[in-house]
Structure 1
Amino acid sequence: MAGEEASVAAAFDKYLALYREIEASTLPTVDPHLQSQIKTAIAGLIRTTVVASETGIFSTNETLDDLPTSSIKLLLLPALLGTLTLKRTDTDRPEVLRLATVYLRDFLRRCSEYGVVKGCFQEEEEEDEEEEEEEEEEVVRGGGGGGGGRSKPSPQELQAMARQRQDKIQRFREKKELEGRLAELQKALEKKGLDEDVLREYQLKLVRKFVYESVEELDSVTMERQMLKKISLLKLKDSTAITTTTTTKPAAPLKPILITRDACQKNVFGLGYPSRPTMTVEEFYDQRVKDGWFPDPRRNHGCLQDRATFTQEEEEAVKEEEEEEEERKEEEDDPDNLERLRERDEWRDTHRRGWGNTFNRS
């Protein structure tokens, strides 16, 4: 078990270094090289999360004092995944925000359970799907939804906003103090080497720093999700007057990989298997036809093997279509068609009918 924990810790250090390289990069987020690094880091952190879950590094009956120094930094796995997921540009933004929210909440919940920072996470109830459907129906009917008729906040809301502002100021001050202390501890580690007490304090401070950053990111993500939701509801309202015959298949949602703390959670969440099929053979062929890789069997009438299976009605329809196409080219003076006809006439002038291979011919 100790060997597995050491390998997990080594893998985490590798991808933590890659995470810091991504954070320090001056490239734009949409840069292909940066996106490649982000995907590599996410895939590596997911593999590390799965191994950490199988190894059972975290347990429900442990406290922060029970965790070995080498395992404290592994608390950052969902925090790194959440931050890197927000930088992805290859997926729809609402799906990116949903996945990042799962990771960040899992990180804050875990830190709250271990008492890393008191009061860093308050369990929020997810909005019920039925309420969302009712809100969408209200918007479609023209009600607007959201209860936007009230212009002034209530006294309770004003008090809540004041508390939130005070909490942000307090977190900002504590975060600045943490950053200064982290710089001092890092210098001490470079001078003294791997001192157990200094290393443990450094890792705890690092986790606390990520807690404050994750709280800020989660607030921003929540605001962006609400904004995108309102925009989608308005678009839904505008699209109710437009009827379309084509339907698009929604993309499969991304599945977050979280550290499970006992066997029961493993049975509920599973470990994730990326090799599950995402489309049928027919859907794959249709996609290839759409991309131009495969010929469209509904438009390919030039193959004699296919035309041999046609019925008389289908063969007559194909011939009629070819004749109409030929007439259209003649009327429009298609240059390719004119060139072809001239070459055929020139060939006939020098080759009489019946000429050809006369070998063994009486």
Structure 2
Amino acid sequence: MTTNDDLTIAELFDFAFDLQQKLEANKIEQKRETFTTAIDRLKSAEEKLDELHLFSDNEDISEVASNELRYFIIYALIGWLYEYRSPDREQRLDDIHSAISYFLKYLHLCKNYGLVQHIPREQHDDNDKYRLHATEDRQTRIQKLKEKKALEKSIAKLREMAQDADRVDDEIKRQLYTEQIKWWIQQAQEDIAALKDEIKLLQFSKDPHLQMTTPTASTNKLPVDGPFTIVTTKDRLYKEAIGGAGYPSVPTMTVQEFYDDLAKRQAQQPAPPPKPAPLSDEQLNEIDDSTHRQNVRLMDEYKDENPRGSGNRYNRS
């Protein structure tokens, strides 16, 4: 039976890369054993690469041979396989840490060759332990998404060119591997942020009593040394026992005293003048007033022109 030690780096990488592509496209069943097999092959290839020292800290990307350039993404592939391997909740946290570790290892390698400027930290600060990843601004996310889509189209086109040609040009292969490296840089950065958020959720689900924010400082209170005497008054006792907390004041008189005082104040007020008695019709006719006579005449004319019931056009038998 052939073991990983008997295979070359190219054979190990090609087999694991083919498995990863099929798993990502859901062309094969998502079994844990399949992920583990691909991880073992890539780790064996990683050990052989370390023995050969193919990648250096003081090289430029242009100095790496095209056939060796494709092994750049080996750490990113291992990180992806760890990320999607474990449906088991108990082993999920270990797989997440392994995935983040390999993604960071890949980004460090890319930084050594000037492909990445900043690398996220593996651990969060204590103050941000339960704070989810801060989202980037909208324009930055849109720009990254456009760049990633453009890389995917370019990679698909270059793969078709590599498959159709009888003899693949070295320039096409180099461009394909370079585009894959750039795509995995963005993918690794996105996955690291998502995995860190998942770690916080898993930790919080294990102990939901942990506070999401930092506790505030408690107010210092003076200690009470020895016995003490309660000093109170009659008004305070009434407010606490009868009036309740925050009662504005205690009553100053009884209900009977209130009504006696009200009657006394009303008796002291002067009596209003009597209203004049209304005048009868005869008395009104005797009034010698031009305005009154004119009003009476107008009313008589109105009654002559509008007899009683003239406006009622309905309910007539």
Q: TM-score, normalised by structure 2?
A: 0.57
In the alignment, the residues of structure 2 paired with residue 173 and residue 179 of structure 1 have an alpha-carbon distance, to the nearest angstrom, of 10
1:245-288 Cα offsets, whole Å, 9 max, x none, are: xxxxxxxxxxxxxxxxxxxxxxxxxxxxxxxxxxxxxxxxxxxx
How many pairs does the alignment contain? 203
1:9/1:70 contact within 8 Å kept:
no
Equivalent position of 2:171 in the other structure: 197
- CA distance, structure 2, for counterparts of residue 170 and residue 147 of structure 1: 25
Cα 1:236–1:176 shift into 2, 3 Å: closer
Give 1:162 shift. 4.8
Aligned pair partner of 1:179 in 143, 152, 173: 152
Letter aligned with residue 12 of structure 2: A
1:53 to 30, 47, 50: 50
Q: Relative to 1, partners in 2 of residues 1:18 and 1:146: Cα closer, same or farther, differing over 3 Å?
A: closer
In the other structure, the counterpart of 2:8 is 7
**8 Å contact 1:63–1:114 — kept in the other structure?**
yes
- Find the residue that maps to 2:8 and give its secondary structure: helix
1:108/1:211 contact within 8 Å kept: yes
Alignment of 1:104-143 (within 5 A): 104-116=103-115, 118-119=116-117, 121-124=118-121, 126-127=123-124, 131=126
1:119-145 deviation line (CA, Å, top 9, x unaligned): 4x42426347xx59xx9xxxxxxxxx9
Match of 1:17 in 2: 18
Displacement of 1:22: 1.6
Other structure's SS at 1:99 match: helix
Deviations 1:134-193 (A, max 9, x none): x9xxxxxxxxx9699xxxxxxxx9xx7454x33322111011111111122122223332
Change in CA separation of 1:235 and 1:99 when aligned onto 2, cut-off 3 Å: farther
Cα displacement (A) at 1:77: 1.1
The whole-number CA distance in structure 2 between the counterparts of 1:39 and 1:75 is 20
Amino acid at match of 1:210: W
Q: Distance in 1 between matches of 2:74 and 2:121?
A: 21
Letter paired with 2:98: L
Partner of 1:188: 161
Q: Distance in 1 between matches of 2:170 and 2:185?
A: 23
Structure 2 counterparts to residues 111-260 of structure 1, below 5 A:
111-116=110-115, 118-119=116-117, 121-124=118-121, 126-127=123-124, 131=126, 161-163=135-137, 165-192=138-165, 193-234=167-208
Deviation at 1:52, TM superposition (A): 0.8
- Which of the two has greater helix per residue? 1
Comparing 20-29 with 202-211, greater Cα deviation is found at 20-29
Q: Which runs of 5+ in 2 are unaligned?
A: 212-317
TM-score when scaled to structure 1?
0.50
Higher relative contact order (CA 8 A, sep 6+): 1
1:209: Cα distance to partner? 1.3
Distance 1:26 1:71, change over 3 A: closer
Contact 2:85 2:95 in 1 (8 A): yes
Deviations 1:18-70 (A, max 9, x none): 111222225664xxxx2221111011111111111111111111111111111
Matches within 5 A, 1:47-86: 47-86=44-83
CA distance in 1, matches of 2:111, 2:105: 10
Contact 1:79 1:103 in 2 (8 A): yes
CA distance 1:147–1:114, change in 2 (3 Å): closer
Is this contact kept in 1: 2:22–2:28, CA < 8 A? no
Aligned twin of 2:35: 38
Aligned partner of 2:92 in structure 1 is 93
Name the Cα RMSD after superposition: 3.0
Please give the alpha-carbon distance, in whole angstroms, between the structure 2 residues aligned to 1:214 and 1:236: 30
Farther off after superposition, 35-44 or 8-17: 8-17
Where does structure 1 lack aligned partners over 5 or more consecutive residues?
A: 136-144, 149-156, 238-362
Question: Aligned ranges for residues 234-313 of structure 1 at < 5 Å?
Answer: 234=208
Q: How far is 1:93 from its partner?
A: 1.4
CA distance change for structure 1 residues 175 and 56 in 2, over 3 Å: closer, same or farther?
Answer: same
Q: 1:75 Cα shift?
A: 1.3
Alpha carbons of structure 1 residues 20 and 26: separation in structure 2 relative to 1, 3 Å: closer
Query: 2: distance between equivalents of 1:46 and 1:14?
Result: 12
Secondary structure at the residue paired with 1:92? Answer: helix
Partner deviation per Cα, 1:85-111 (whole Å, 9 max, x = no partner): 122225521111111110111112211
- Give SS of 1:234's match: coil
